Structure 1
Amino acid sequence: MIQQKIEKQCEDLISKTSSSKVLLVGAGGIGCELLKNLLLSGFCEIHIIDLDTIDLSNLNRQFLFEKKHIKKPKSLVAKENAQKFNPKAKLKAYHSDIKDPRFNIFWFQKFTLVFNALDNLDARRHVNKMCLIAGVPLIESGTMGFRGQVQVIIKGKTECYDCNPKETPKTYPICTIRMTPTLPIHCTVWAKSYLFSHIFDTKKTFDTEKHEKEDMHDLYITKNIFKNIKDSIKDENFAEKLFKKLYFDDIIQLKSMEEISRILKTINPLSYEDLKSKSDTIDKERLKNSQLVWTIEENFYIFLLSLENLRRRFISLLDSFSDNKSAIPFDKDDEDILNFVSSSANLRSYVFGIEQKSKFEIKQMAGNIIPSIATTNSIISGICVLQAFHVLSNNFNSLRTVFYSRRPERVFNSAPASFPNPQCELCGIETSIFSVDINSATLKNLVINVLQEGLGYGEEISIISDRLLYDIEFEDNLDKLLKDIGVQNGTFLTIIDENDNEKLNRKNLILVIKEKTFKNTEKPYSMLNITIPRHSYNHEAERNDITNENNNDNDFQVLKKRKSDYLNSESNLIAKKTKMDPIVIDDDDSDVIVLDCI
C-alpha cells in the first residue's frame, strides 16, 4: 500500500514536471547549473532571460560557455548548449532586461514556476514583486563565495524577498571621494561614479535625497565643473584639457588648502608634457595583461587611448540624438570603459600616494564583483530543484529556507519557510486586474466611478504609477484619457487611502491594467468586485515601533505609510528612478548573501 502510494506520487510529480512551463531569470553561475539540472530533472519547457554578455572571467565556473562565446549573449548561448541535455525540450531565450515593459504581469502568469539567479538587488525585488502580484511561485537563490541560500516565495504562504530588511550598502562621503581619498576604492569610485558618469553618462545625475546637506555644495560644484569640461568634448585637444584639469589644476588647488594638506601627506600634481614624452616608449604588449599593475606612463597612455575612443563614440551619439538622450552607461565588460576607469583611478592614486591596482582588481571594485565558486553554484542549484518539487507536489509543509556554508560542523542549515510578515509593505498590498479601454476611459472614470462609487473610497486618495497621477490637491489629470497619462497594458496603479483616521484606512491597492475593448462606449471599463481590508491598527505594534525608533533599530516600519513616505521608500513598488548607484564594497564579515555576479 505504501509502495503504491509512493509510486503514484512519483507519477504525479513526473507528469507535473514535464508539463510545467518555467522561467529562469539569469544565465550566469547559478543559472548555468540550474538550467542543466532542470533539463535533467524532466522540465520540458524553460524560458531563459539575461541581459548580460559572456566575459572571460565567467569561463571558470559557467560551464555552458567557452572562449569562442566571449561577448555573445549569455541567454542565447546557454539555450544552444543546454539543449544537448534534452534535445526534445522547448527552450526559449531572451537577450533582454527582465524589467522591460513587455515582460508584464500577464507574461509572468504564463509560467508555473520562476527561478531567480540574479546578481543585483533591484532586479531581485522586481521579480519578487511581479511573482507576488501574478501569483506565481518563485524559487530565490544566491551565492557568495562558499556560502549560499535558497528561499521559496509563494504569495500568502511564505515571506517574500522584501519581508525582511536588507543591509544598507556601504557608502563613502562625497567630500572624501572628491578631496581626501586614502584608499584605492576611493579612487575607483571617483573614476567610475563621478568622472566617467559626468562626462559620458548624461542620464545619471545625483540623488540629492541620499546625501547630507553639507555634501550638496560639493555636488553642485562637481556637476558644474564637469559640465564645463564636457562642453569641449568635440575639441581635438579634449584629452589634454581634461587631464590638466583633473591631475594638475585641481591638484594644485587642493594642495594650497591648509586643511587638505594636514589630512593628506602626499599630493603630487602630474605634468601632461612629461608623461606625454615618456609614454611613447612603453611596451604595448605588457598592457594586454590585466593582472599587472601598470606604471604611471602606461596608465597615462591607456587614459588617452580609451578617452579618445569613448569621445568618438559619444560624439556619434550626439549626432544621432538630442543631448539628454546621449549616454554611454557604465559596463564592466566594455574594454574602453574599463580601461578609462582603471587608468583614471590609478593616476589619481599616484597623485595621492595610494597603492595602484591592476585592471583586474579595479574591475572587481568597479563592478562590485565578489568571486564565485562553481561548487557552491552547483549545490545551490540542486537545492532549488528539490524545493521546486515540493511546490509542484503542493507539499508546502516540506518547504525549507536553506543556508549553505563552509562550516565543518554544519554545512547546511535549514528552517521551515516563514509566514509573510504582516508589516511587509509588499505582502500587505491587495491586488486586482482592472479591465479598461485606455483609449476611451478617463482618470475621472477610475476615481469617481470605480474607486469612490464602486469600492467606497473617500475623496482623500492618491493614485500613483511611476509618478503621482492624482490626489485631492492634484486634479490636473482627471479629464485626461488614461493613455494620455502614460497608462498602458500591464501598468501598475497604486491606490493609497489618505483618510486622516488611520483606523479607517484601507490597505494599499495595486490595479494591474488589462487593456480591453468595450461595446458600451459610455462605460469603457469593468467594475471591481473586490473588498479592500482595513489596516490592522495595533497599539502594541505602534508602541514597539516607537521603542525601536528610539533605539535606532530600523528593523520594521509599522502601520501604513503615508503617500510621501511611500514615494520615498527604498522598497516601494514604484519604479523610482535612482539618480546615482550606491557605492558598494564587499564586506567579508557580512552574513547577507549576495547573488552570484555574472
Structure 2
Amino acid sequence: MATAVDAPANAPASPAKPTQVQMTPNALRDAHNMETLGRGLNALVKQSRVLLVGAGGIGCELLKTLVQCGFREVHIVDLDTIDLSNLNRQFLFRHEHIKKPKALVARDAAQRFNPLVNLVAHHADIKTFDVAFFASFTVVFNALDNLDARRRVNRMCLAAGVPLIESGTAGFLGQVQVIKRGVTACYDCSPKEVPKSFPVCTIRSTPSQIIHCIVWGKSYLLNEMFGDSEDESAFDHSDDAQNADEIAELKKESQALKAIRQAIGTPGFAEMLFDKVFKTDLLRLRSMEDMWKTRSPPEPLAYAEVMARDATTTAMSNKTELLRDGQKVWTLEESVVVLNDSIERLCHRVVAARAMGEGTEGAMIEFDKDDIDTLDFVVASANIRATLFGIERKSRFDIKQMAGNIIPAIATTNAIVAGLCVLQSFKVLRGQYDSVKEVFLAPNATDHMLASDRPRRPNPECPVCSAFQVTLDVDFDKITLRDLVDDFAKEQLKFDADGEFVISNEVGILYDVDETDNLDKKLSELSISHGTFLTVIDDSDEPFLNVVINLQKAKESLGDKPYAVVSISDRNSDGSAKIAKQPKKAPKPAPQTNGVSNSKQPLTVDDDDDLIIPEDTQPANNKRSREIVGDEPVAKKSKVAPARAPAVLSVANGNSSQTGEAVMIDD
C-alpha cells in the first residue's frame, strides 16, 4: 500500500495545500534509512556485499535486520534443514518448511520484506568455499552452529582480509565480537573448551550418570538395532589399549546384537533384545569382581520377570496416557512398557522398508529428537539401564533436552544480538575500528542490560592470526609434499635445512623429521585439495612464527612448475620471505590470591542446539567472569593438528543455568 508523505522542502509549493508525493513502502523505508543513517553511511550500506553464514536463530534475525536496513546484496550459506524444534524462535520458518533447506526458505521469506534486495542462497557447507569467495564480500556475519565451521570462517576471513562479526546467545546472555586481521583478536586467539566425549568402557560397562545411559541408548543400542552400527561418534576410544580385555568383550556383545538384529519383525524380538542387554550383559559385568570394589554392581533383569509384575500390567493399561505425559518420570515397569511399544513401532518401519525393497535390513533409522519412535526408545532404554545401575531416572522432557541437544533459546535475545551485529557493522563499513566494541548482553549481571568493552588485541601467540600468511597457486596433479618441504619451506622460507619443522593440516602431521613417508606422494594422494590450509611449525631453538599456507587450484597453466607464490605477508629486499621470530615468552606471573581459591572461569557458549554435556550435570550457581585473552599466553602449538572443540564465546558475569561447565548458544 502506498504511503503519503510531505514533499521535500525544495518541491514546488501549492498555495492551496502542501504537495504530497506518493511513495512505495520500499521507497519509504529507504527514505527512513537515509534520514537515520545519513547519506554517506546509507550509501556504504547499499554498496556493500554481505555474507551471512548460518540461517538459524540469530541468522533469521540478522537476515531480517540486514534487509530492512538497506543492504542490497546478501548471500546466505547454510547446510542445515529445518527441524520442528526450530520453529519457536526461527521466525522465517513455518511447519510446512520442515526438512527443507534453511538457506533457501530464509531467502524466500526475507525477499518478501524487500523485493529490491538481491538475496542469494547457498544450501552448502561453508567449508567448501575458498578464499576468493570470502574476499568478494565487504563484511561477513557468523551465525554458525559448530566450532569446526566457525574456525574455518575465521581463518578464511583472516586470509581474505575481510572483517568478520561473530555472535552468540545463551538464554538471556549474548555477545558480539568484531574480528579484523591485525586489529582485533580473532576467534582462535583464546582457547576453546573441548566437547565432552565419554570413554567407551564408561558408556558400555560402568555408567555413573544418566547422561552415560542416554548416550548408550542413543549412540549404541539404537544404532546397533535399527541404524548404522558403526556410528560411535559419542565414544572416546583413546583409552582402548588400556582396557583391551574389556574392549574385546564389548566387541563380542556387539556381534551378538548384530545376530539379534536379524530377528527384527519376529514375535520374540523384543524379549531377545531385552534379555541380551539387561540380563546377559549385566551378568557378565557382575562377574568381573574387580570392577565393583568401589561401586555397586548392576542388577540384571529378565524380561519374563518384569512382564509378570502387576505394575507392568497396570502400566500397559495406561499406556496411552503414559505416552502423552512428557514430564512424568516413568517407573521401571512403565519404561519397559514404553520400550516394548517403541520397539514395535520401529520394527514396523523396518519391515515396511524391506517390503519397499530398501535392502535386507530395511531403512537405517537415525535418532531424531522430533521422531517420537526413536525418542521413546532412547528414553525407555536409558531409564531401564539407569535403574539397574542405581542411577536416578529422568523424564522424557529432560532426556530429550540432553539426547536431542535442545537448549531452551529465547528469540528476543537473538533479535537483540542480531541488531548489535548490524550496529557494529556500520562502524566496520566506515573503517572506524578504533570505535568498535565487544558487546555483552547480560541482564542479570549488572544494573545495565548491555555492557561493552574495547576489542581485545590479537594474541601474539595465536596459531592462526599471528602466523605468517602465504597463498600458493598449485597444480595438484604435479605437486608433491617434497616440493613443499625442500623447495618452498627450506629454500624460499629459509626454514632449517635439517628439517627441524613440522607441516600439518587439520587432520594431523604430514611431515616432520621423523615422519617422511609422505614426501614423494602427491598432495592429491594425501586428500589435500583446493582451499586447504597447511601450517608450518618451526621446531628450532629460535623458531620462526608459524607459517599458514593457503593452497588454491591454479586457474592457469604453471608450465613445468608445481606451484606459484600468489601472495606473501612480507618480503626482504631480495624478494625472499621476511618471517619474524617467535616472541619470547614472558614468565607466567604468580597468581594474585588471598588464599581463597578463585572459582571464576570463562563462561562458554555454543551455537544452535549443540549440547556439550559435562561430567558434572548439576546446576552451577557460581558467577563466571569474562574471559580475558592475552593475560595468560596460549601454550605453543604441539606437533599435532588442533583438536576439535566446541565453539566458545565469553559472556560477562553470566550464570550457567544448564551445566557446571558449559552453556550452549542458539544459532
TM-score by length of 2: 0.74
Indicate yes or no: 2:462 matched with 1:424: yes
Residue by residue over 1:248-270, the C-alpha shift from the partner in whole angstroms, topping out at 9 and shown as x without a partner, is 21233445666649744983514
Match of 1:127 in 2: 153
SS at match of 1:362: helix
In 2, the alpha carbon distance for the partners of 1:498 and 1:477 equals 19
In 2, the alpha carbon distance for the partners of 1:330 and 1:535 equals 50
Match of 1:267 in 2: 299
Match of 2:323 in 1: 287
In 2, the alpha carbon distance for the partners of 1:280 and 1:593 equals 39
Please, which moves more after superposition, 149-158 or 522-531? Answer: 522-531
Match of 2:138 in 1: 112
1:250-265 aligned within 5 A: 250-255=281-286, 260=292, 263-264=295-296
In 2, the alpha carbon distance for the partners of 1:545 and 1:315 equals 66
In 2, the alpha carbon distance for the partners of 1:352 and 1:331 equals 26
Q: Are residues 137 and 269 of structure 1, via their aligned partners in 2, closer, same or farther at CA, if it must alter by over 3 Å?
A: same
In 2, the alpha carbon distance for the partners of 1:272 and 1:106 equals 65
In 1, the alpha carbon distance for the partners of 2:285 and 2:565 equals 65
1:31-46 aligned within 5 A: 31-46=59-74
- What is the CA distance between 1:452 and its match in structure 2? 2.3
Q: Is the 8 A contact 1:46 1:92 kept in 2?
A: yes
SS at match of 2:440: strand
Please, which moves more after superposition, 26-35 or 236-245? Answer: 236-245
Indicate yes or no: 2:278 matched with 1:202: no
Q: Is the 8 A contact 2:84 2:98 kept in 1?
A: yes
Residue by residue over 1:400-441, the C-alpha shift from the partner in whole angstroms, topping out at 9 and shown as x without a partner, is 111111226122111001111112122222222101222233
Q: Which amino acid aligns with 2:64?
A: K
Please, which moves more after superposition, 107-116 or 513-522? Answer: 513-522
Q: Is the 8 A contact 1:208 1:216 kept in 2?
A: no
Q: Are residues 410 and 132 of structure 1, via their aligned partners in 2, closer, same or farther at CA, if it must alter by over 3 Å?
A: same
1:484 pairs, out of 517, 521, 525, with 525
Match of 2:394 in 1: 357
Q: Are residues 11 and 297 of structure 1, via their aligned partners in 2, closer, same or farther at CA, if it must alter by over 3 Å?
A: same
Match of 1:544 in 2: 588
The structure with the larger Rg is 2
Q: Are residues 167 and 292 of structure 1, via their aligned partners in 2, closer, same or farther at CA, if it must alter by over 3 Å?
A: same
2:451 pairs, out of 410, 413, 425, with 413
1:561 pairs, out of 631, 637, 643, with 637
Q: Is the 8 A contact 1:165 1:556 kept in 2?
A: no
Q: Are residues 556 and 287 of structure 1, via their aligned partners in 2, closer, same or farther at CA, if it must alter by over 3 Å?
A: same
Q: Which amino acid aligns with 2:561?
A: K
1:379 pairs, out of 416, 423, 433, with 416
Q: Is the 8 A contact 2:503 2:536 kept in 1?
A: yes
1:433-472 aligned within 5 A: 433-459=471-497, 460=499, 461-465=501-505, 466-472=507-513
Indicate yes or no: 2:626 matched with 1:594: no
Indicate yes or no: 2:579 matched with 1:533: yes
Q: Which amino acid aligns with 2:254?
A: F
Q: Which amino acid aligns with 1:427?
A: C
Please, which moves more after superposition, 18-27 or 140-149? Answer: 18-27
In 2, the alpha carbon distance for the partners of 1:483 and 1:53 equals 31
In 1, the alpha carbon distance for the partners of 2:66 and 2:367 equals 33
Indicate yes or no: 2:193 matched with 1:162: no
Q: Are residues 47 and 283 of structure 1, via their aligned partners in 2, closer, same or farther at CA, if it must alter by over 3 Å?
A: same
Match of 2:216 in 1: 190
In 1, the alpha carbon distance for the partners of 2:355 and 2:519 equals 42
1:139 pairs, out of 154, 165, 170, with 165
Residue by residue over 1:290-336, the C-alpha shift from the partner in whole angstroms, topping out at 9 and shown as x without a partner, is 45555224322244135536866998999889x9xx98665434555
- What is the CA distance between 1:38 and its match in structure 2? 0.9
Gaps of 5+ in 2: 1-33, 571-576, 603-630, 647-655
Give the aligned length: 565
Residue by residue over 1:486-540, the C-alpha shift from the partner in whole angstroms, topping out at 9 and shown as x without a partner, is 23221222223333x2x1x22222221221255563224214655252333425x
SS at match of 2:425: helix
Gaps of 5+ in 1: 1-5, 573-585
Match of 2:652 in 1: none
Match of 2:339 in 1: 300
Match of 1:151 in 2: 177
RMSD, aligned α-carbons:
4.0
Q: Are residues 568 and 592 of structure 1, via their aligned partners in 2, closer, same or farther at CA, if it must alter by over 3 Å?
A: closer
Q: Are residues 395 and 507 of structure 1, via their aligned partners in 2, closer, same or farther at CA, if it must alter by over 3 Å?
A: same
Q: Is the 8 A contact 1:113 1:138 kept in 2?
A: yes
- What is the CA distance between 1:150 and its match in structure 2? 0.9
SS at match of 2:38: helix
Q: Are residues 406 and 558 of structure 1, via their aligned partners in 2, closer, same or farther at CA, if it must alter by over 3 Å?
A: closer
Q: Is the 8 A contact 1:49 1:97 kept in 2?
A: yes
SS at match of 2:641: helix
Match of 2:27 in 1: none
Indicate yes or no: 2:125 matched with 1:97: yes
Match of 1:576 in 2: none
Q: Are residues 415 and 223 of structure 1, via their aligned partners in 2, closer, same or farther at CA, if it must alter by over 3 Å?
A: farther
Structure that is richer in helix per residue:
1
Q: Is the 8 A contact 1:537 1:559 kept in 2?
A: no
Q: Are residues 75 and 291 of structure 1, via their aligned partners in 2, closer, same or farther at CA, if it must alter by over 3 Å?
A: farther
Q: Is the 8 A contact 1:198 1:227 kept in 2?
A: no
In 2, the alpha carbon distance for the partners of 1:56 and 1:520 equals 51
Q: Which amino acid aligns with 2:429?
A: L
- What is the CA distance between 1:544 and its match in structure 2? 2.0
Indicate yes or no: 2:348 matched with 1:348: no
Q: Are residues 469 and 181 of structure 1, via their aligned partners in 2, closer, same or farther at CA, if it must alter by over 3 Å?
A: closer
In 1, the alpha carbon distance for the partners of 2:365 and 2:548 equals 35
- What is the CA distance between 1:144 and its match in structure 2? 1.0
Q: Is the 8 A contact 2:50 2:73 kept in 1?
A: yes
Q: Are residues 335 and 113 of structure 1, via their aligned partners in 2, closer, same or farther at CA, if it must alter by over 3 Å?
A: farther
Q: Are residues 285 and 274 of structure 1, via their aligned partners in 2, closer, same or farther at CA, if it must alter by over 3 Å?
A: same
Match of 1:508 in 2: 546
